[in-house]
């Protein structure tokens, strides 16, 4: 067995990082590596990961219930209606990470999700429509080629901005690169993405 895997007292093999605390253990067993479905659950994950930037994930896990209270159980429709008074309230809440940029990004992201749902329709807003055109087994680390049938706006999906806190690029189609011919097998240069 790999050094990255540890068998616990309960006989269950887990990633070694999960054995450091009960919070990590519960997260590993119930959530880590599993798909997240539904707007509130996806918005929660996005928000928590943005707040985690620069901090330990364990810190965020331990503050998760306070985040749920502060952000209306991560209901994006409620958070989208937050005002400057709500920002001030959140910045005074010692139970969460009090960072103005992250708080305002969470509100902006809720508004972007609401706008995306309005533009795309509920079924397609976050890319999980419950239908797939892929048949057969999908191996670890591989996703079906398409989770929703193509539509007139199918390239538009819920995408966070590059900073992890901002959301200015949500709903925009992803940038694409032109494919380059594969290097010959005699090339010894490292695999580096082509320059833009």
pLDDT tens digits, one per residue of 98-125? 999 999 999 999 999 999 888 877 654 4
3-state secondary structure of 153: coil
The rounded distance, in Å, linking the Cα atoms of 66 and 83 is 19
In this prediction, residue 156 carries a pLDDT of 44
Q: What are phi and psi of 165, to 5 degrees?
A: -120, -30
Q: Classify residue 142: in a domain, yes or no.
A: no
- Residues 64, 27, single domain; the answer is no
Of 17, 64, 24, residue with least CA distance to 44: 64
Mean model confidence pLDDT for the chain: 74
Same domain, 47 and 85: yes
| 156-166 pLDDT tens trace | 444 444 334 43
- Say if residue 26 is in the same domain as residue 92: no
Please count the structural domains in the chain.
2
Whether 135 and 145 have beta carbons less than 8 Å apart is answered as: no
d(C-alpha 190, C-alpha 149), whole Å: 37
Q: Are residues 166 and 69 in the same domain?
A: yes
**pLDDT at position 132 over 70:** no
The better pLDDT of the pair 138, 3 is held by 3
Structure confidence at residue 83 (pLDDT): 98
* Cβ–Cβ under 8 Å, residues 43 and 68: no
Q: Residue for token digits 């997240």?
A: 36
* Domain identity same for 8 and 82: no
Q: How far is CA 114 from the centre of its chain?
A: 16
Q: Are 71 and 47 in contact (CB under 8 A)?
A: yes
Residue where the block lists tokens 């209306």: 72
3-state secondary structure string, 77-137? HHHHCCCHHHHHHHHCCCCCCCCHHHHHHHHHHHHHHHHHHHHHCHHHCCCCCCCCCCCCC
Full residue range of the structural domain in which residue 57 is found: 37-129+156-173
Contacts of 49 (CB under 8 A, 6+ apart): 164
**pLDDT of 98:** 97
Positions marked catalytic: 27, 49, 57
Percent of the chain with pLDDT over 70: 61
The CA distance from 136 to 149, in Å, is 17
- What's the pLDDT tens digit per position in 48-84? 999 999 999 999 999 999 999 999 999 999 999 999 9
Indicate which CATH number applies to the domain containing 121: 1.10.340.30
User: Model's pTM, two decimal places?
Assistant: 0.63
What angle do helix axes 84-91 and 100-120 make, rounded to 10 degrees? 140
**Spatial separation of the C-alpha atoms in residues 108 and 115, rounded to whole Å:** 10
């Amino acid at each position: 067995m790999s050094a990255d895997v540890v068998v616990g007292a309960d006989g269950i093999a887990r990633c070694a990082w999960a054995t450091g605390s009960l919070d990590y253990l519960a997260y590993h067993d119930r959530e880590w590596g599993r798909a997240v479905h539904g707007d509130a659950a996806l918005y929660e994950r996005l928000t928590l990961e943005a707040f985690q930037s620069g901090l330990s994930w364990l810190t965020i896990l331990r503050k998760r219930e306070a985040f749920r209270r502060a952000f209306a159980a991560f209901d994006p429709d409620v958070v989208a209606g937050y005002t400057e008074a709500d920002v001030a309230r959140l910045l005074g809440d010692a139970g969460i990470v009090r960072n103005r940029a992250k708080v305002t990004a969470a509100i902006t992201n809720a508004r972007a999700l609401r706008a995306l749902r309005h533009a795309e329709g509920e079924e397609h807003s976050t890319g999980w429509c419950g239908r797939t055109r892929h048949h057969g087994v999908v191996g670890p680390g591989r996703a079906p080629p398409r989770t929703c049938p193509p539509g007139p706006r199918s390239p538009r999906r819920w995408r966070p901005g590059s900073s992890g806190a901002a959301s200015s690029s949500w709903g925009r189609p992803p940038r694409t690169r032109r494919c380059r011919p594969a290097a010959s097998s005699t090339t010894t240069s490292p695999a580096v993405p082509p320059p833009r």
